[in-house]
A and B are shown apart, each in its own frame.
Chain A
Amino acid sequence: MRTIVIEPDYEAWRNSARRLLAEGVPPDEVLWSEDAQEASLFTGEDPHVEPVTGNPIKVPPAFLDMARSAAAHTDTRRWGMLYRVLWRLTLGGERHLLSMATDGDVREIQNWCKAVGRDIHKMHAFVRFRLVGVNADTGREQFVAWFEPDYRIVRLSASFFRKRFAGMDWSILTNYECAHWDGMQIHFTAGVPRGSAPNQDALDDLWRTYYQNIFNPARVKISAMQSEMPKKYWKNLPEAPLIAGLIAQSAGRVKGMLETPERPAKSAPKNEYLKMLHDMNRSEPPENKKPPQP
Chain B
Amino acid sequence: MDTKRKLEILADAAKYDASCASSGAARKDSTGSKGVGSTGGSGICHSYTPDGRCVSLLKVLMTNACLYDCHYCINRRSSNVTRARFTPEEVVKLTLDFYKRNYIEGLFLSSGIIRSADYTMELVIEVARKLREEHQFRGYIHLKTIPEASQALIALAGRYADRISINVELPSQQSLDTLAPEKNLARTEEAMGHIREKIDERHAEKRGPDTPKPAPFATGQSTQMLVGADASTDAVILGCADKLYTVHRLRRVYYSAFSPIPEPSAILPLKAPPLIREHRLYQADWLLRFYDFKVEEIASAAEPNLDLALDPKLSWALRNRERFPVDVNRAPREMLLRIPGLGVRNVERIVSARRFTRLRLADLLQLRLQLKKLMPFIITVDHHPARMGLDSDSLRARFLPPPEQIELDFEAPPKPAASDFSSVRSGEL
Contact = CB atoms under 8 A, between A and B. Distances in A.
Nearest to A250: B50
B137 to A, nearest CB: 10
Given A229-B47, A266-B69, A294 B239 contact: yes
Interface string A119-150: 00100111111110000000001010100000
Contact of B101 (A207, A255, A269, A280): A207
Nearest to B351: A99
A165 B30 contact: yes
B127 interface: no
A37 interface: no
Interface string A153-184: 00000001011111110000000000000000
Interface stretch (B51-59, B151-159, B198-206, B392-400): B51-59
Interface in B32-65: 32-38, 41-42, 44-55, 58-59
B299 interface: yes
Given A215-B15, A216-B16, A277-B182, A223 B418 contact: yes
Contacts of A293: 301
B181 A281 contact: yes
A206 B3 contact: yes
A168 B48 CA distance: 26
Interface in A265-294: 265-266, 268-269, 271-274, 277-278, 280-281, 284, 288-294
Nearest to B174: A291
A207 B100 contact: no
Nearest to A251: B410
A273 B118 CA distance: 10
Interface residues of B, number: 111
B357 A262 contact: no
B55 A214 contact: yes
Interface string B298-338: 01110010000000000000000000000000000000000
Of the four ranges (under 10, 10 to 19, 20 to 34, 35 or more), the interface on chain A belongs to 35 or more
A167 B33 contact: yes
A59 interface: no
Contact of A292 (B54, B236, B264, B415): B236
> Which residue of A96, A167, A209, A278 has the most chain B CB atoms within 10 A of its CB atom?
A167
Given A166-B29, A266-B69, A128 B273 contact: no
A265 B267 CA distance: 8
A268 B69 contact: yes
Contact of A221 (B55, B78, B100, B421): B421
Interface stretch (A20-28, A42-50, A84-92, A100-108): A100-108
B166 to A, nearest CB: 15
B421 to A, nearest CB: 5
Interface stretch (A8-16, A69-77, A239-247): A239-247
A206 B47 contact: no
B184 interface: yes
Interface stretch (B211-219, B253-261, B286-294): B253-261
Given A166-B32, A207-B101, A210-B7, A96 B355 contact: yes
Interface majority SS (helix, strand, loop, mixed), chain B: loop
Contacts of A247: 50
B172 interface: yes
A217 B16 CA distance: 11
Interface in B123-151: 136, 139, 148
B49 A225 contact: yes
Given A213-B8, A291-B174, A125 B45 contact: yes
B370 interface: no
A133 to B, nearest CB: 14
A125 B45 CA distance: 6
> Which residue of A102, A141, A205, A255 has the most chain B CB atoms within 10 A of its CB atom?
A102
Given A228-B48, A258-B270, A273 B100 contact: no
B253 to A, nearest CB: 16
Nearest to B77: A266
Nearest to B58: A210
B48 A213 contact: no
B386 interface: no
B294 to A, nearest CB: 13
A57 interface: no
A58 interface: no
21 contacts: A100-B352, A100-B357, A102-B363, A107-B367, A121-B44, A128-B101, A160-B38, A164-B36, A167-B36, A206-B94, A210-B7, A222-B52, A223-B418, A224-B421, A257-B260, A263-B79, A265-B267, A274-B182, A277-B148, A288-B173, A288-B185
Interface of A: 96, 99-104, 107, 121, 124-131, 141, 143, 145, 160, 162-168, 201, 203, 205-207, 209-211, 213-225, 227-229, 237, 239, 243, 246-247, 250-251, 254-258, 260, 262-266, 268-269, 271-274, 277-278, 280-281, 284, 288-294
